[in-house]
Amino acid sequence: MTDRRHFTRKIKSARYAFAHGCCEACGQPVRPGHFDYHHEPPWEIAYKSGFDECRLLCDLCHDHKSQTRDIPWIAKANRQRDTHRGAMERSQTPLPCGKHSRLKKTIQGKVIPRVSEREKVRAYLAEQGVRFEEE
Based on the structure, what is the number of domains in the chain? 2
In a domain, 1, yes or no: no
Instruction: Determine the pLDDT at residue 118.
Output: 85
**pLDDT score for 18:** 96
Confidence band of 1 (pLDDT split at 50, 70, 90): very low
Domain limit, last residue, from 84, 102, 124: 84
Q: What is the mean pLDDT of residues 112-129?
A: 87
More confident residue, 26 or 94: 26
Do 51 and 15 touch, CB atoms closer than 8 A? yes
Does the predicted model carry a pTM greater than 0.85?
no
Same-domain status, 16 and 64: yes
* DSSP per residue, 32-87: TTSEEEEESS-HHHH---SGGGEEEEEHHHHHHHIIIIIHHHHHHHHHHHHHHTT-
Angstrom distance (rounded) from CA 26 to CA 62? 10
Q: Are residues 36 and 14 in the same domain?
A: yes
* Local confidence band at 134 (pLDDT 50, 70, 90 cut-offs): low
Which residue did the predictor score with more confidence, 35 or 96? 35
Considering only CA atoms, which of 10, 15, 11 is closest in space to residue 57? 15
Q: What percent of the chain has pLDDT over 90?
A: 50
Q: Does any domain span residue 3?
A: no
Q: Are residues 18 and 62 in the same domain?
A: yes
What single-letter DSSP state applies at residue 93?
S
Q: pLDDT tens across 56-115, in order?
A: 999 999 999 999 999 999 999 999 999 889 888 877 777 888 888 888 899 999 999 888
Shared domain check, 96 and 80? no
Domain of residue 108 covers 92-135
Query: Does residue 29 sit in the same domain as residue 50?
Result: yes
The CATH number of residue 37's host domain is 3.40.1800.10
Average pLDDT over residues 6-22: 94
- Of the three residues 84, 101, 123, the one that is the final residue of a domain is 84
